[in-house]
Amino acid sequence: MTKNMKTLFYGGVKNGKSRLAEEYTLKLSTGTPIYLATTEFIDDEMAIKIAEHKKLRTTKFTTIEEPLNLYDRIKDETTPILIECVSMWLNNMLFHKRSETEIYSEIEKLLSSDKSIVFVLNDVSRSVVSENALVREFVDISGRLSQLIASKCDEVYSVSAGLTQRLK
């Protein structure tokens, strides 16, 4: 992976983005890449999902768990970084009442960094408009983040049913 390479894996929930992004990151790394896990332990179901993900990546990655301050946690890293996932990170930011300005600022720092980063982001835009204001805010910001990240990434992959299509 060339220095400062940015890649996005984007698609629906449970369509294989994480697995494909992990494989991609491992192929491009000469050492042990960083797995930046953003999901917080919020309930038993989430704890099970986190445990399953940990089991799958075993010793292939160095795991860093960080729900909010992504750039600060990786600013000194030199190996490729997989951010899994931007959607859960956005959820955390909104849950912890971080402003939209703070959200975009954090993403901009990652995109402009001298780090090789692989982003995973859920496509949540293909649904009906929710009556819940927080859900609408999440979907709106997620859509704008997907556009921002995709515009600044060197490569963008759409993932559906475990298959990838390179968009950029």
In a domain, 30, yes or no: no
Nearest to 120 by CA among 153, 75, 96: 153
In a domain, 145, yes or no: yes
User: With 0-12 CB in 10 A as exposed, 13-18 as middle and 19+ as buried, what is 83?
Assistant: buried
In a domain, 15, yes or no: no
Q: Which residues, 6 or more positions from 22, have their beta carbon under 8 angstroms from its beta carbon? A: 35, 56, 57, 60, 61, 82, 84
158 forms beta bridges with 10, 165
pTM score: 0.90
Q: How many domains would you assign to the chain?
A: 1
With a cut of 70, which residues of the chain have pLDDT below it? 1-3, 41, 50, 56-58
Residue 161 is predicted with a pLDDT of: 92
Domain that holds residue 158: 40-166
Spot the catalytic one: 16, 28, 53, 113.
53
Residue 57 is predicted with a pLDDT of: 65
Residue 40 is predicted with a pLDDT of: 75
Residue 2 is predicted with a pLDDT of: 53
- Based on the residue annotation, tell me whether 96 is a catalytic residue of this protein: no
Nearest to 151 by CA among 125, 127, 124, 119: 119
